[in-house]
Amino acid sequence: MPNASSAGTIDVGGDLTVNRFGYGAMRITGPGIWGPPADKDQAIAVLRRVVDAGVNFIDTADSYGPSVSEELIAQALYPYPDDLVIATKGGLLRPEPFVPWPADGRPEHLREVCEGSLRRLRIEQIPLYQFHRPDPNVPFEDSIGELVKLKDEGKIRHIGLSNVDEEQIRAAQRLTPIVSIQNRYNVDDRASETIVDLCEQESMVFLPWAPIQDLDKNQTIHEIAERHNASARQVVLAWLLGRSSSMLPIPGTGDLAHLEDNLAALDLELSQAEIASLTRA
């Protein structure tokens, strides 16, 4: 059976070693990332299968549900395995399903949602807390400054950023060590290509969100998949692992069959030429 340990390990913040194949827990919620899942038992089973498969890095956010994803993680997995690292995020609002998620980077909001995540996850310290998206109406330094205060209070162990550019990364680094970046990245969306390289150079973890997109449009993916008798999803995930040593893929699903398909990517070995061809594609 595939096991995440076969992907090797990566250090988060220099002191949290995890297998380099994680899980994103957004899709265990209801339609529109809102409310409980249609099949709660399956969502619980997915989370437990994730851990059984050696995945010891789970990414979530207070906005997933909202709150539902964090609550399900605790229900399924608490008390947690000693090596499990749960990363969560704050800084977005969820007024209702199927509408844009507005940013809220006010210090008082970040403190409120961080403390809410601590309660829902049933932990005293969040291993990795990520600022979900900069708020254009709040000075970036004010938002990061509040996360620094929460870290100083012991409520956060490490700070990460999401949906940021290099200028914002540098601004945050002037205030505190930044250990991870979570940006949109996949075969067809390379806007963060230089950020991936920056993470590799500076020992930050890069967490690609939306890693599996528009697979039907890319002929190179399907040619490689046919060659290996693999699915397109598996090829894309194997490419991410080969793209950079800083990459920590976090594919998410609320479906057991999709989860097994994702895990099977761990047994797929792409050649350097295949990785290069996808990187160029």
Q: CA nearest 208: which of 231, 178, 240? A: 240
Q: How far is the CA of 72 from the CAs of 46, 98, 131, in angstroms?
A: 11, 21, 21
Residues in the chain: 281
Burial of 136 (0-12, 13-18, 19+ CB in 10 A): exposed
Q: Does residue 80 have an active-site annotation? A: no
| Type of residue numbered 13 | G
Residue 10's DSSP bridge partners are 18
Q: DSSP of 3-44, one letter per residue?
A: -GGGG-EEEETTTEEEES--EE-STTS-TTTBSS-S-HHHHH
Q: Which of 23, 64, 129, 185 is an active site residue?
A: 64
Report residue 135 as tokens: 């708020």
Which residues does the annotation mark as catalytic?
64
